[in-house]
Structure formats: C-alpha cells, structure tokens
Structure 1
Amino acid sequence: MITMSTNEKDNTSLIAKMSVTQLYQKFDTSEKGLSSEQANLLLEKIGKNTIQKGKRRPQWIIFLKNFTSLMAILLWVSGFIAIFAQMIELGIAIWAVNIINGVFSFWQEHAAQKATDSLLKMLPTYTQVIRNGETEQINSENLVPGDIFTIQAGNSISADARILTATSFQVDESSLTGESVQVSKKSEYQHGEGRFAEANMVFAGTIAGSGTATALAVATGMKTEFGKIAKLTQAQKTTTSPLQKELNRLTHELSWIAITIGIAFFIAAIFFVHYPVAKSFIFALGMIVAFIPEGLLPTVTLSLAQGVTRMAKKHALVKELNSVETLGETTVICSDKTGTLTQNQMTVNHLWLPGKEYTVTGEGYVNNGKIELNQQKFDYKNDSDLQQLLEITVLNNNTKIEASQKDSKNTKIIGTPTEAALIVLAEKAGINVDAEIKKVPRLKEFPFDSDRKRMTTVHQIDENHRNIYVKGSLDGILKISDSILDNGQVRSITNEDRQNALDADEQYSKQGLRSLGIAYRTINTKTSSMPANVKDWTLDDTEQHLIFVGTTVMADPPRPEIYEAIQKCHNANIKVIMVTGDGAVTAKSIAVKIGVTSNDARVITGDELSDMTDEQLIGALKGEIIFARVAPEQKYRVVTTLQSLGHVVASTGDGVNDAPALKKADIGIAMGVTGTDVAKDAADMILTDDNFASIVAAIEEGRTVYSNIQKFLLYILNSNVSEAAPSVLFLFSQGLIPLPLTVMQILTVDLGTDMLPALGLGAERSEPGIMDQPPRKRKAHLLNRSIIWKAFAWYGLVASIISSGAYFFVNHLNTGWPAKALAASGLDYREATTMTLAAIVFCQIGAALNCRTQITSLFKIGIFSNHRVMLGILFEICLLAMLIYIPFLQGVFNTASLGWQEWLFLICIPAPLVLVEEWRKKLVRNYLSK
C-alpha cells in the first residue's frame, strides 16, 4: 500500500517524471483503478478529501474577550465608582454602554471568521472514478490517492493528480497562480516556468477549461497544494490592529493620569482642606471619573461604523471595524495584477499584417466598437486582407459570448479568454458572428496542443472548395507557411517577410503583449490530391503550404480608472508593489504603463526570490520592485518582510493563492466579483466592484476616521480640564471656595451633554488635503503633543477660566462676594454650581465647532454642514435646560434655576471662542504655506 511520509513535502516533480508503470507501482493501482477494499482502507488511513478546519477558541471565551479589554475594564470601574458614589442611574448607564459595545464587537468577529469554512465549498461534490475496472460516481470526499478519475471541460478538479491521457485539455489555474491564461495539459512530462508548471500534473481547486482527461490522484485533502495553502492560512494568528494598539496605549495613559490626579486630590483634600478620609475618597473618585473618557469606546465604535457605511457606498465592504482605520495607516499595498490592476479579460489591441498595422479600440461588445487605421476611422470591408484575418478568427474558434439583453457589457464567456478576445474583436468590427458560423460550416478540427501550439479547422466554402484555417504561435505558423497574403495578392513568402513578422512580435513582447499568428489554405476538391472524405485528412497533410495573413496582438488591459488611483497612492506616499503569478515581461509592462513603477524597476521572479536571503530581500524592497511568478508562500514572505520593516501592509488578491498573504497582512483586500470564497473570507475588506480605485477611497475614509478620533479626544480632554479646575480652586483656597462642580455634574458632562456632539465629530467628512499627506508614522500616537497643548493650554485653559468666572459671577449676583463668604450649601450654592456646569456646556459648544477641522477654516466647510454636531449641540442645550428647570432632576443633580442675566452670560460664550480659534488656524495655514 502507499505511504504518505511527512518528509515527502513536495514530490510533485518526482511524480511528474515517473513512467505510468512506476506510477501504478507507487500507488498500488492499475489501469482498472483501485479495488473497493483498497479505497476503503486508504480512506480510513488517510482521511476524507476535505479541507480541515483549524482549531478555534470556544465561543464563550471569544465572547468574554470583548468585555475584558483595557477600555472595557475602565468602563466597568467607572460604573462602579458612580454606583459607589450613590449615582446608581449613571453607573448603570456606563455599564449598559459597555455591554452594547461588547455584544456588537462579538457579532462582528463571529461574522468575519469564515475563511476555513469556504475552502470546503471550493471542492466539487462528485467525481467520476474507475474502481474495480468500472466507472462509478462517488462523493469527492471519498477520493483517495491511487484513484483514477475522469475530467471534462467545466469540471472542478478534486485532487492533485498525474494526467494519464489528455485530449485538447486545458486548465484554468488562476485560483492558484493568478494567471488569466489557461494552461495546456498533456500526459507527457514537460516542466514549465514557475510553480504548478508540470504539463502532466493538475491540482485541486483548479477548473478544466476545455477538452477531456483521465488522471491518477496523488494527493488529497490537506496534502494537496490547495490544502497546504489552507493550512498556511489557518496558521496565521489574528494580529492587533494599529488602532487597537493605540487605543490600548491611550487607555493606559488616561488611566494613569486619572489615578495620579485622584491620588493627588485625595492627599490634598486630607492635608489642605482637612476633609475626613471618607469624604476625601469620594472627592478623589470624582476627579478620577472626570478624567476617564467614558465616551471614548462608543465614539470610536460609531466613528468606525460610520466609516464602514460610507465605504460601503463606495463599493468597499469592511468586515471588521478596526480595519477602517488600519487601511488609513497603510504605507504599502501589495497588489496582484490579474483582475485587480487589470480587467482579467484578454483584449485584442493591435492587428499586424504585412506592411500594415491596425489599432483596435472601443469598449463595447456588440456593434459599438471600431477598428482604426492611423487613428482614422476605417471600414474593414475595404481591406480584403483584414477581412480574411477577421473571418479566420471567427471560424477557427470554439468560444461563445452570451451578452445580456439589458446590458451589452454584462456578458458570459464560454471558452478560453484568448478565443473570447477574438470573438469580441469580430463583434467590434460589426461582424455577425453567429451568421458567419452558420454560413461556413466546420467539417473537421485538429485541436490545440502544447507541442504544435496551433489549432486547425476545416470549413466548407462551396461545393468545390474547402478552407483550412490555422491560428497559433507565430514562429510555428511561419515555419509551415510558404506564401503570404499581401494587399489582396498571394505571393511566395521570403525570409525578409518572416523576419519582419518576428521583429514586430518582439516589439509587442517588450510591451507585455501576446501575438497569435493567423494563416489559411484553400483546397480545390477537384484538383487537390487530398482525400475526398475530410475525415481521412491527416494533421501533416493539412498543416502545410499555408498562406500567412498576419497576427492578432492582445493583452489583459489595465482598468481605466487605475491610472488616477495609482497617482493618488503616490501623492499619499503609499508604495504600490505588484506581486503576481504572471511572467516578468508582462508584469513589468503593466506596472510601468499604469505608473506603479518606472522602467528602472527591478523584477524578481519566484525562483530568484527563493534564493534570496532575508537581508537581500530587505535591500530589494527599499527600491522600485516587482515580483513575478511567485508562489503563495512567497507572497506571504513579502508581506511579512515588509511588516518587519515597520510598514502597515495592505495586500490585495482574488485567488486561493492570495489567502495566506491576505490574512497575514495588516489589512487584506479581496475582489468581490472575481475573487474566490477563500480570498473573500481571509480578507478584512471586499471590493464589490473589483476596482482598485475603491481602495483609494477607502484609504481616505480610514485617514478620516483616525482624524475624527483625534478631534474627539481634543473635545473631551478640554472639558476634563474645565471639570477639574473648580476642584483645584477648592483645594488651593483650602476649602474657602466651596466645590464649584459636584461629582454628579461632572458625570453629566461626560456621559450626557458631551456625548452627542462627540459622536457628531466622528461623522465629520474628510478634511481637504488629507490624501496629500504621508501616512501616520508608527511611532506617532493618538494623544500627541499638539492635542495635549490645545486641550490643556488652549481650549481647556480658556474653558476653565470662563467656567470659574461663571461661578464667581453668580455668587457676585447673589451675595455680593467678595464682601461675603461663599456659601457651601443652599440655593445660592446650587445656582453657582449650576452656572459652572452651564458654562462648561457652552464652552463645549464652541469647542465642538472648533474641533471639526484641524487647520481648515470652519467657514470654508460650512458651520451647519455636519448635522450630527448641530443636533448634538441642540440636544445638550435641551438637556441642560431640563436639568436646570425640572424639579425632580434639580434634586438628583443638585441644580437650580437660572435667570436672564445668567443666560445672557452663557449665550455670549461660543462666538468669541470660535473667532479666536479661527485666527489661530489662519496663522497656522499661513505658516505652512511658506
């Protein structure tokens, strides 16, 4: 029986080189296949042909994790402090916020973890196998190494297998390699370039494009190349996003600030004011509560959620909230080529005929394209040579394109992309493809194979004439052509003619284009020595004495919007690196054309990358670079190396081969239209339109989210200063000045009046010029010097002076102070603390408007343009009025009614704050413009 040794890590090449006899011997099978007993024993020993799920933590642990983060713990403590201080309602409110956020985060994570499950869906349900000498259909889960199975066009392939027989067999391996061109397969060994290139091997997860084959399964389940990629994907640990790290750091900082201030006030209350220990402790707890940002977590969550909503409208679906901000910090995008930067659709863009070259343009599929000669409109019917070439591309073709009746661009291609490109070419020229095929029936076909690199068809022209149409590799067709079609005349082909065609082909190759030679031959049945019955025609007799017509030149074109998107990345100092399974010439051509790199960029192939040390790779990544013909684990290595250099890496992709790199990257971006389920579930973000430009829009949203969080920080910290300032007066006066603000009123600001305007700041639109700035440095922090200075020494200091002044203003009105001592209780005291609270709220109205921009004028973006902020301001005024005038709330929050003089004082607060800040921002703009 066969053994699957653990050190038999990659024996693909060895198996590909074996003779059929050796292969049968190794897998203890024969042309009759395995016996049922053998298959059952192997299935029991090796296991089912499925992709195994990675180990997952219990759901209850995942659930609890969302309630034990640093910020969550801080909120639990805040709620406890509020309850301990006999403010039960606010304590419950704080805990409710924590519970809601925890449940929401758990749901997000639960919905996102599906990468391994999707791998199961990629394998087909049934496979036709030969067992006991007979063909039978089995569930693909029961396929084992040694089974012989059949493959037909359109079948998904269930296992890694060695081909035994093949007829015109081609396989779409793009899910593994990323290449859009189908690969010809045959039973004979032939090693190609790069990974998965053995001509007589097929791999699980790929799809048969055309032809038929029989194959012997050599690996199933997790032992397949598909399974190895799945295992590599499962091995990736979920990394902490930059935003999560920064929020954890910020929580630590604010916690220590709050605790330090609390301890300092506790000591001061005992020794300076001579408060009892219990009363001093409650006082210190109030200070701690004042500096704990209870609204930080819900504001960040809502800001991220709003970013997700805006991105969804721009065709970018984000699965995890933190990915929004991570994308905004991206410094490098590792992008696949096929289907990401290009359209994943072969397109003919040039036609070369002896002495003539045509440019093909037009985006449509049916009758709305055109062919141009020297950029002038040109009717192909006036050129017999061009007409002959187009006729051959239509008739020597097995592909059909089914267009939607509603939308001509919404098409379904049945066949190979290369042949589909030729059909599209004909339809652009206005040829009725179906009518042409019916008019010239096909009599015989010699299918394409990788040795000849040609496809030949025979057609009935009329009763006495049959045409042989051939397309294939240019050099191969030139060798069997002895004539050439030149301006409607057939003449002998010369060496100069051949060289001209090859020179043109070389120039196209340098541009990353592929040439397909076109030739024909007319047989007069009355005079020809060919057999009368076409079925008796041999390949050698048919493919000779051809008349060379010209070449069709095609490529997978870049997306039209890619040029602007790449330029925006450069403006934002984001490096784009192409990492593709395509060839080096094609990759570099596309990269240079769309502006990813210059022509001086270094191209590193997968084989070269395998031989490079980490130090050499690090050195190469510092310059312009393109990776071509890379294997899945090599993409993973590139991402890992970039991360080791301190980069925040976004990796795009659509195939199974991209999944490990997508999961390893700081943010993985999958294509929603052409992407496999594996890529989508491994990614953090899915582009619903497969549009690279959507990534740029998402980056802008990510940067905006981070900027809005900083605006929120500035907003809440400046209120914390004004909340603490009255207590400082209390301490430094040694109790002569009663507490101008109670603990309950502090929490009212933090969880009441401040909350909605802060949430409104999380919805602020992108500030002009945000995409012309470099990504945030990894060492930069949310709480930076600029925010600290503005919060404490500018906004906070001004608000503290105003709120303290409001306290003394009311005392002056009521008692004529300083002539009389300030009351520590009673109506006058409650009016004074109410005025302090109200002044802080009105200072926050000005701060909310000022925080909307960093340096841009508020009047430029529009004072009323953010409706959430304006509603928040209206809400806090209404809430303040309720606290002041509703008797029940007056008792709970220790407030009292205010008169018209106090309200006049309050109304005058915001306008000067906004105008002074506008003056400061103008000075900053003038300084930066120099």
Structure 2
Amino acid sequence: VHDHGRWDVLGDPTEGALLFLSQAVGLSPEEMRKEWKIIDEVPFDSVSKTMTVLVRSVGVDRDRPTSIGLDRPVSIERDQPIIINRDRPILFIKGAPEAILERVSFIQKGNQIEKLTSEHRAKIEKQMQMWTRKGLRVLGFSYNNQLSMNNDQSIINNSMINENSIKIEKLEIDHSSIFLGLVAIHDAPRPEINDAVARAKQAGVKVVMITGDNEQTAEAIGVTAGIIDNNEDIITGKQLDEYSDEELMKILPQTRIFARTTPFQKHRIVQLYQKLGEIVVVTGDGVNDAIALKQADIGVAMGLVGTDVARETADMVITDDNFASIVNAIDEGRNIIKNLKNAIKYLLACNLSEAISLIMGLFLGIPHLFYPIQLLYINLVTDGLPALALAFSPRDHHQMQRPPDKELSLLRFAEKEYIAIVGIITAVLVLLAYFIFSWLFPKTGQTAAFTVLTLIQSYIYIDLWLSHQSLHKNLHLLKSKLFAMVFFVPFILQFFIVKSILISRFFKVELLSIWQFIMLSVFSGFVWIGIKLTKKAVHVTA
C-alpha cells in the first residue's frame, strides 16, 4: 500500500520484502502478472519448507525479452541442449535453502546453466552461513521447465496444458531443477523486544522461540532479543524426532530455542511443557501454527499479519503484533488479580472480625455489642466503599519481579491466614475498646466498640492498598485522591455520628468528646501494627 510517499506491507512480510526487491532491480510485478499466468500453486508448507508455483506465458510478444529473462537461449551441461522459452510452463520453487538444494542438480549463472558441483554447493552454503549468522532470513530459489506428467516422459508445453487438469502434485518433478540464487531478508526484532523479554524473565516467564528458521538465524535473533546468550544449545526439528518424550522432557527446562520445526513438532513441544506442569502461551500468525495455538492454555494470534485460521483458533488476538503487548497484558492481568484478591480479602476479613466480635461478646456476657442499624451501616459504608476502591488500587511495581502464582485457587493458604489474623486482631481490639471505655467512661463501651470496628477497617484498607508493602517506602501511593477520599470518609461520618445528637440517637450510640474520638482513632491504628507483627512472627506472605 502506497501511503504518503512510502510503501507499507499488508500481509506476509516475507512476500512484501520480495516485492520490494523486485522493484529495486527494475522488475514490475504488474508487468509480470500480465506476461505470466499462474496455473497452480502450493502454499508454503512447514514440512517441505517450500512454496511452489506453476506459471505459463499468456501470449505476450515472444520476441521481446520477458521481465524474468527466461526466454533466452541458454546452453546446459547435460545430455542435450535445451531452450528455455515461453512455450513451456515453468515451475518456480522458493523456500529453505537446504530444501531447495536437495532438489536441484544445476545452477544458472547468467545465461549459462551448469552442473551443480560440490564447489558450487560449498560456496552457496558458505554464503548462507554468513547471512544466517547475522540473523538474516535466507530463501533459496529454483525453477524447472522440463516438466512431465506422472508416468509420461514427454515434456509438457503450453499447447498441451489443460489448466483444469494440470496440478503440481501430478507433475513428475525430479532433481533436475535449476538453482537460481539466494535472497537474504533482514527481519529485525522490534526495538522494544529486549526490554519485553527482560521483563518477562523477571516475572518468572520462560520465553521460548519455536521457529521454522535456520538454526543460525534463530540463534542470532535469539541473542539479539535477549532470549538466549551466545553458544547456548539449540534443538533442531531433526533432533526433536530423535528424542523420546521422556528424553525431551528432561532437556526442555534448559532449552529456549527450537529451530527448523514443523507444526507437529511445535504441537509436541507444547504438550510436553504442559505435562511438566507449565501454563503455556503460544503466539503464532500462520495456518501452520493453528494446532499449537489450539493445544496451548492460551493461544495468541497476530492481528496484522495473522491468517484467519490463526485468529479463529486463538483465544486472544494482538492488534499490534507486538510481543511487548503480551508482557503488558501479563502485568495488567496480575494487577487485576491482585486487586480482586485484595477486595475479597478485605470483605472476608472485615466480616469475619464482625462475626468473631459478636460471638466473643456473647461468651463474655455482652448481649448487644452491636445493634442491627450499626452493622447495616458498617456493611454498606465501611465495607463496600473500600472494597470498590481496592479494585482500582495502584499497580504493584514489584509484581513483575516475582514468579507467577501457579495455584489455581483464588486465595492461597497464606491469604486465608491473613484473613484469619486480621479477623482475630480486629475482634480483640474491638472488645478491648469496649471494656476499657466501659471502665473509664461508663455507658460508652458499646459506642467505643462500634467506633473502633468502623475505623479499624480504614487501617486494613491501607495495608491492602499498599499490597502489604512497607509504608515508609510507599508513601507516594497514599497521595491518590481515591485513597484519601475512601480512607477519611469513615472518620468524618463516624465523627458526626458520635457528635450529633440526632444522628447518635438514630445509630443508638452515646455522644463522645473530641478527645475520646481521637483516642479511639489512634487505638484503631494498632490493628495495622498488630497485622505486621503477627505476619512476621508466623511468616505469612499474603
């Protein structure tokens, strides 16, 4: 697509790069399409690692050289000379250089076709290795214009072609194809990939590259992206087939790059990681990735270059085709889970503290520790508002420096311990407030218990807002307007409840002095100290 003076590729980047190359050498794709008609095509296949197309001339002036230059007389070093011209269909093959070299016996050098010797092969392989070590993707190209049908040795020409019956799979294709050359494509990783991979590793995510690329290309890209260090072991598809599942499961934890793999090998790798107890996320964009995307716990397809099959098979689609988006999604997902857990822990801890306080109060001979209207107020205001606010609490900047939680339950045992600790400490402080104020200020014990239970929940809210982190190192997190509003609202409302005659009668509490209210506010803060000390003593990590 031409956009404001520059070209953008829509679709497969490899095909786009080849179109740019054709323009760079003066070939016009539009003219070529006019001169040559595609008879049949076999898309790229990860098993054969090649893509094949059969074309024929469509009757353009035969005396004029074609844009691909294959209608000129050339000599060939085999039994008889042949003329490459428009009268015969031509089979073009592109793909992995090693797959192309397996099928060719000749090489075209200018207008001369020579026997492909071991010296030629050595030269080609040397050039290949030089490019692949630089992380370039290398393609090989060949053609064949001496085609015959299966069980028929006669050479096909255009007049014999019935386009409805001539299919590539019906052709007799031997090893007499002619090698055209190599093309190196620079498909550099995005600039942000290093940071994304580093963040993923910090978060305990193992980044593995499973690719159809050459081993050396895969290694160069892996080193550039920070997936591996230099000289780390890389397993190829050929080696994969030599390992049993048991042998492969032993080396999977140490292997981070698999090269020259087939779709079925990708599927096998995913299955074996799952057998090891790993949660596997697979990214892919092609039809060949579909079975691995389907097998994965989470399949992620590319939105820009991904095929319809890949997008429909996947569980998620990345609209910008950026690996960093996956890492950002992990970060966001952990933040959502953290906030959800904190809200649940807050509600359970607060309700448990109310239940324990009431039960212990009955055992201690306190018939009306809380009145129904007071419990209703606590549930609506001091339980509900902070729980909602915790759903929007700030991101824990250390969450991507910890390994993932592999437990499937929403609350781990340590988090259940936290709920129990908070519930017990809160109940103890509520009952202490009741007895202390009953002794110091007769008739105010029940009011003190109600006030402490209301205000304590704001201090629990602080601990969860900070995700149990140190207060003095994270004071900046308390500057949020949302935090300030939710933290101070219970204090303000409770102050009016115990200072207003009309409101105090409605809530069935005694009036308190300002100093009494301050005493209860400070006393309520002991819950935060108690939580920290108890967690440290019993090694609770929630």
Give the TM bin, normalised by the shorter chain: 0.5 to 0.7
Match of 1:421 among 8, 13, 17: 17
1:453-503 deviation digits (Å, cap 9, x = unpaired): 99999xxxxx9999974798897798332699xxxxxxxxx9989864552
Give runs of aligned pairs for residues 15-94 of structure 1, distance below 5 A.
Answer: none
CA contact (8 A) 1:579 1:626 kept: yes
Question: Residue 652 of structure 1 aligns with which residue?
Answer: 283
Q: 1:769 to 1:859 in 2, by over 3 A?
A: closer
Question: Residue 92 of structure 1 aligns with which residue?
Answer: none
For residue 482 of structure 2, what is the amino acid of its counterpart? R
Residue 811 (1) aligns with residue 410 (2): no
CA contact (8 A) 1:478 1:498 kept: no
Q: 1:503 to 1:863 in 2, by over 3 A?
A: closer
Tell me how far apart the structure 2 counterparts of residues 451 and 654 of structure 1 sit (CA, whole Å). 17
Q: 1:796 to 1:513 in 2, by over 3 A?
A: same
Question: Residue 396 of structure 2 aligns with which residue?
Answer: 767
Once the two structures are TM-superposed, the CA of residue 575 in structure 1 deviates from its matched residue by: 1.6
CA contact (8 A) 2:132 2:138 kept: yes
Tell me how far apart the structure 2 counterparts of residues 517 and 664 of structure 1 sit (CA, whole Å). 34
Tell me how far apart the structure 2 counterparts of residues 451 and 687 of structure 1 sit (CA, whole Å). 27
Question: Residue 853 of structure 1 aligns with which residue?
Answer: 467
Once the two structures are TM-superposed, the CA of residue 753 in structure 1 deviates from its matched residue by: 0.9
Tell me how far apart the structure 2 counterparts of residues 579 and 791 of structure 1 sit (CA, whole Å). 43
Question: Residue 332 of structure 2 aligns with which residue?
Answer: 701
Question: Residue 873 of structure 1 aligns with which residue?
Answer: 487
CA contact (8 A) 1:505 1:515 kept: no
Tell me how far apart the structure 2 counterparts of residues 580 and 909 of structure 1 sit (CA, whole Å). 62
Q: RMSD of the TM alignment (CA)?
A: 5.3
1:42-79 deviation digits (Å, cap 9, x = unpaired): xxxxxxxxxxxxxxxxxxxxxxxxxxxxxxxxxxxxxx
Once the two structures are TM-superposed, the CA of residue 774 in structure 1 deviates from its matched residue by: 1.7
For residue 505 of structure 1, what is the amino acid of its counterpart? M
CA contact (8 A) 1:756 1:869 kept: no
3-state SS of paired residue (1:652): strand
Match of 1:904 among 518, 527, 531: 518
Tell me how far apart the structure 2 counterparts of residues 442 and 758 of structure 1 sit (CA, whole Å). 65
Match of 1:514 among 114, 118, 138: 138
1:730-760 deviation digits (Å, cap 9, x = unpaired): 3443x2x443224553454344312221222
Q: 1:786 to 1:447 in 2, by over 3 A?
A: closer
Question: Residue 233 of structure 2 aligns with which residue?
Answer: 601
For residue 560 of structure 1, what is the amino acid of its counterpart? P
Tell me how far apart the structure 1 counterparts of residues 295 and 51 of structure 2 sit (CA, whole Å). 40
3-state SS of paired residue (1:670): strand
Residue 688 (1) aligns with residue 319 (2): yes
Once the two structures are TM-superposed, the CA of residue 693 in structure 1 deviates from its matched residue by: 0.8
Tell me how far apart the structure 2 counterparts of residues 584 and 839 of structure 1 sit (CA, whole Å). 67
Give runs of aligned pairs for residues 279-298 of structure 1, distance below 5 A.
Answer: none
3-state SS of paired residue (1:869): helix
Q: 1:777 to 1:477 in 2, by over 3 A?
A: same
For residue 570 of structure 1, what is the amino acid of its counterpart? K
CA contact (8 A) 1:713 1:783 kept: no
CA contact (8 A) 1:848 1:869 kept: no
Question: Residue 571 of structure 1 aligns with which residue?
Answer: 202
CA contact (8 A) 1:656 1:678 kept: yes
3-state SS of paired residue (2:403): coil
Tell me how far apart the structure 2 counterparts of residues 863 and 417 of structure 1 sit (CA, whole Å). 44
1:81-120 deviation digits (Å, cap 9, x = unpaired): xxxxxxxxxxxxxxxxxxxxxxxxxxxxxxxxxxxxxxxx
Match of 2:192 among 561, 565, 580: 561
Tell me how far apart the structure 1 counterparts of residues 427 and 394 of structure 2 sit (CA, whole Å). 30
Once the two structures are TM-superposed, the CA of residue 690 in structure 1 deviates from its matched residue by: 1.5
Question: Residue 864 of structure 1 aligns with which residue?
Answer: 478
Once the two structures are TM-superposed, the CA of residue 605 in structure 1 deviates from its matched residue by: 2.7
* Runs of at least 5 residues in structure 1 that lack an aligned partner in the other structure: 1-401, 458-462, 485-493, 519-534, 536-547, 816-827
More deviation, 705-714/888-897 = 888-897
Question: Residue 453 of structure 2 aligns with which residue?
Answer: 840
For residue 342 of structure 2, what is the amino acid of its counterpart? K
Relative contact order (alpha carbons < 8 A, sep ≥ 6): 1 or 2 greater? 1
Tell me how far apart the structure 2 counterparts of residues 604 and 501 of structure 1 sit (CA, whole Å). 21
Tell me how far apart the structure 1 counterparts of residues 220 and 55 of structure 2 sit (CA, whole Å). 28
CA contact (8 A) 2:51 2:93 kept: no
Question: Residue 280 of structure 1 aligns with which residue?
Answer: none
Question: Residue 174 of structure 2 aligns with which residue?
Answer: none
Once the two structures are TM-superposed, the CA of residue 676 in structure 1 deviates from its matched residue by: 4.1
Question: Residue 109 of structure 2 aligns with which residue?
Answer: 481
For residue 420 of structure 1, what is the amino acid of its counterpart? G
Taking structure 2 as the reference length, what is the TM-score of the superposition? Answer: 0.65
Residue 776 (1) aligns with residue 424 (2): no
Q: 1:625 to 1:411 in 2, by over 3 A?
A: closer
Match of 2:2 among 403, 413, 427: 403
Question: Residue 75 of structure 2 aligns with which residue?
Answer: none
CA contact (8 A) 1:654 1:675 kept: yes
Q: 1:760 to 1:662 in 2, by over 3 A?
A: farther
CA contact (8 A) 1:584 1:605 kept: no
3-state SS of paired residue (2:208): strand
Question: Residue 785 of structure 1 aligns with which residue?
Answer: 414
Q: What number of residue pairs does the alignment pair up? A: 460
For residue 639 of structure 1, what is the amino acid of its counterpart? V
Q: 1:648 to 1:507 in 2, by over 3 A?
A: same
Q: 1:665 to 1:572 in 2, by over 3 A?
A: same
Give runs of aligned pairs for residues 330-729 of structure 1, distance below 5 A.
Answer: 402-405=1-4, 408=6, 410-412=8-10, 418=14, 420-424=16-20, 469=69, 479-481=107-109, 500=123, 502-509=125-132, 513-515=137-139, 552-580=183-211, 587=218, 590-597=221-228, 599-605=231-237, 608-609=240-241, 613-624=244-255, 626-627=257-258, 635-659=266-290, 661-720=292-351, 722-727=353-358, 729=360
Tell me how far apart the structure 2 counterparts of residues 451 and 798 of structure 1 sit (CA, whole Å). 70
CA contact (8 A) 2:452 2:521 kept: no
Once the two structures are TM-superposed, the CA of residue 700 in structure 1 deviates from its matched residue by: 1.7
For residue 765 of structure 1, what is the amino acid of its counterpart? P
CA contact (8 A) 1:456 1:469 kept: no
Question: Residue 83 of structure 2 aligns with which residue?
Answer: none
Tell me how far apart the structure 2 counterparts of residues 652 and 557 of structure 1 sit (CA, whole Å). 18
Once the two structures are TM-superposed, the CA of residue 694 in structure 1 deviates from its matched residue by: 1.0
Tell me how far apart the structure 2 counterparts of residues 889 and 656 of structure 1 sit (CA, whole Å). 69
Identity %: 29
For residue 688 of structure 1, what is the amino acid of its counterpart? T
Tell me how far apart the structure 2 counterparts of residues 432 and 469 of structure 1 sit (CA, whole Å). 13
CA contact (8 A) 2:331 2:399 kept: yes
Q: 1:653 to 1:881 in 2, by over 3 A?
A: farther
* Runs of at least 5 residues in structure 2 that lack an aligned partner in the other structure: 42-49, 58-62, 71-91, 143-157, 159-178
Tell me how far apart the structure 1 counterparts of residues 264 and 402 of structure 2 sit (CA, whole Å). 33
CA contact (8 A) 1:855 1:921 kept: no
